[in-house]
Amino acid sequence: MKNINLLCFIIIGSLLISCTIEEETPSVNSANLKFTMGVHCGWGLRFDSLTVDAKQAHLVQDFWNASSNTRIAVDSKQSISSTAVDALKSALDWNYFSSLNYTSGNLPADGCDIWLTIENGSLKHQIVFDMADTIPQLHLLTDQLDSIWSRLGVFPQGMLDNF
């Protein structure tokens, strides 16, 4: 009986030592990524959104441009190159982004909120921030999105100046 208990103890001990629980890091696959970035200003003054997936970029804008005294309305779609999608993918640190908990927008104070939502397959995370926030680790990613946005429409002046 003692030998069986000792044998069980050795087997269980060996299993516990050899088995470790590893948290699986979600992979980032260009085909599964979807980026949505936008700006929303109080009183309905502005609501823009840029959506980029593996095949296309889609920008929707509707706002009053005070400097030119005109209404800007854009609904533009454009195919996106695999190079641009790969650049977004390489600029994304999914683990870092999904750990962010930003909800610091100004919309309740009649300001503007910037939001960034990233879908990685079945995973989805969103942050909301204002133009004064600084998230240096996202600078490369927001530069890539800014470049795509600027090709399709009017990039909001000062939106990412602090990044």
pTM: 0.75
**Per DSSP, what are the bridge partners of residue 109?**
none
Q: What is the pLDDT of residues 25-60, one digit of tens each?
A: 556 666 789 999 998 887 777 889 999 999 999 999
Give the Cα separation of 46 and 63 in Å (integer).
5
**Residue 12 CB burial class (10 angstroms; 0-12, 13-18, ≥19):** exposed
Assign 95 to helix, strand or coil.
helix
Q: Phi and psi at residue 93, in whole multiples of 5°? A: -105, 95
Domain definitions of the chain by residue range = 30-152
CATH number of 30-152: 3.30.1560.10
The token duo for 16 is 């516990």
**Of residues 85, 82, 62, the one with CA closest to residue 72:** 62
Q: What is the pLDDT of residues 135-150, one digit of tens each?
A: 889 989 988 998 999 8
